Amino acid sequence: MSKGNAIKNDIAVLRDVVKHYLEICRRDSQNERRELWRKHNSLIRTRPLVLVQCNWGARNETPAMDLRCVDPFFQWHEKLLRWEIYQDTIGDDCIFEPWITQAAKLVTPLEPPADALPDGVNDGLWGVRGRYTPAPQQGGAWKYDPPIRELKDVAKLIRPRHLIDEEATRHAEQRLQDAVGDLIAINVRRAPAWSGCAADISTHLGYLRGLDQIMLDMLDNPQWLHGLLAFMRDGILEAQAEAEVKGDWRLCDHENQAMPYAQELPSPAANSKPVARKQLWVFMSAQEFTLVSPEMHDEFMLRYQLPIIEKFGLCAYGCCEDLTKKIDMLRKIPNLRRIAVTPWADVGKCAEHIRQNYVLSWRPNPAMVSYGFDAAHIRKTVEEALNASKGCHVDITLKDIETVGNDPWRLKEWVRIVRDVADEF
């Protein structure tokens, strides 16, 4: 097949997928879910909401990844849409928005290599890059050597700037417009690279210095570490402010690790007018500080995160870290709304502190669908967690699923069991 015919075929495939996806987006159930999440995130009583979030390892084990596009650009969008279509069959409370998002081409100090880094890792945002030893087999562990090995190495860091390659961005947008723009809105995401996990300080501090060394620095080099944290905080604030001045924050840039609806904030939208950060959710975490005391977490992380968080409307805090002993510390966040309660947290103790002041976002262990499937164990675990958090505003998010043991049926059955239990509450 010639290249021209291959592109035509890709476009035809993508158009069919878009049409199927839009059928899902147009269902009345989507607006019903929007209203449920809007109330839930505004601390108005609803049933426990359920969400499944698979990583690409698990997604690739589903029929959704039977891709037909050949061109990498179109294949990527086909891949994203086919997963959304498959997610709809799981039966959770996911909302499917009637647009396709194309990320703007951001200019960062170091461009991420095409295939040298693990998925989702870009440690070049500060102008330096660690050394990776690839995993010996697919899905295995990789070794990482951070770039700041000596205290003097901080001089190599480059202060963030929010820059967009407008020509490359327009080209990508136009390709999608020409292919499917008559069917679906093409949303361009222009938010800065320093957002999400790249703006929580903690994630990239780990990339820059290494986990063990960070803990030693708190004792051996505290003033040096405070200087590095201040540099990172100020750099993130400057890049985010620059994006706001340029009008590059939009209503598609909400981030809260769930469905970002709330009565206090405008709803997500495609290609909205520029907005201030105060109109958006921000997601913040400190997974690298799981084993750090509340006092040192406060001193060496939260106080630097707060100026970033306070620029936004509402905050969701926590990813995979155990926050059981840190919820009182988190009360310093004036716009805090959601707190993650991970598989390693004590649900009952977290509920005692969270009460009805915040959303308790419970994350059960994904191993329950990754390594075998015991329906009785799942039911018992969910019953115990919901009993322990009775009276709280609870959602149940099964996330970070790396594998379903090549048995994607488990996802739908997990949702069925959880809904059955949740109905009793």
Tokens 């700037």 sit on residue: 161
pLDDT attached to residue 111 = 76
In sequence order, the 6+-apart residues with CB closer than 8 A to the CB of 135 are 141, 142
3-class SS of residue 59 = helix
List pLDDT tens digits, range 289-326.
Answer: 999 999 999 999 999 999 999 999 999 999 999 999 99
Q: How far apart are CA 314 and CA 261, in angstroms?
A: 11
**CATH 3.10.20.340 for the 3-422 domain, yes or no:** no
Query: Which one-letter amino acid corresponds to residue 281?
Result: W
In this prediction the pTM is 0.95
pLDDT attached to residue 141 = 79
Evaluate whether 335 touches 310 at the Cβ level (below 8 Å).
yes
Q: What is the chain's pLDDT, residue by residue, as a tens digit (425 residues)?
A: 677 788 999 999 999 999 999 999 999 999 999 999 999 999 999 999 999 999 999 999 999 999 999 999 999 999 999 999 999 999 999 999 999 999 999 999 887 665 555 555 666 899 998 888 877 877 677 788 999 999 999 999 999 999 999 999 999 999 999 999 999 999 999 999 999 999 999 999 999 999 999 999 999 999 999 999 999 999 999 999 999 999 999 999 999 999 999 999 999 999 999 999 999 999 999 999 999 999 999 999 999 999 999 999 999 999 999 999 999 999 999 999 999 999 999 999 999 999 999 999 999 999 999 999 999 999 999 999 999 999 999 999 999 999 999 999 999 999 999 999 999 88
In sequence order, the 6+-apart residues with CB closer than 8 A to the CB of 148 are 128, 154, 156, 208, 209, 228
List pLDDT tens digits, range 379-422.
Answer: 999 999 999 999 999 999 999 999 999 999 999 999 999 999 99
Q: How far apart are CA 134 and CA 113, in angstroms?
A: 14
In this structure, the number of other CB atoms found within 10 A of the CB of residue 35 comes to 13
290 to 53, 220, 320: CA distances (angstroms): 22, 19, 9
In sequence order, the 6+-apart residues with CB closer than 8 A to the CB of 53 are 257, 397, 398, 399, 400, 401
246 to 156, 160, 169, 199, 253: CA distances (angstroms): 28, 15, 15, 18, 15
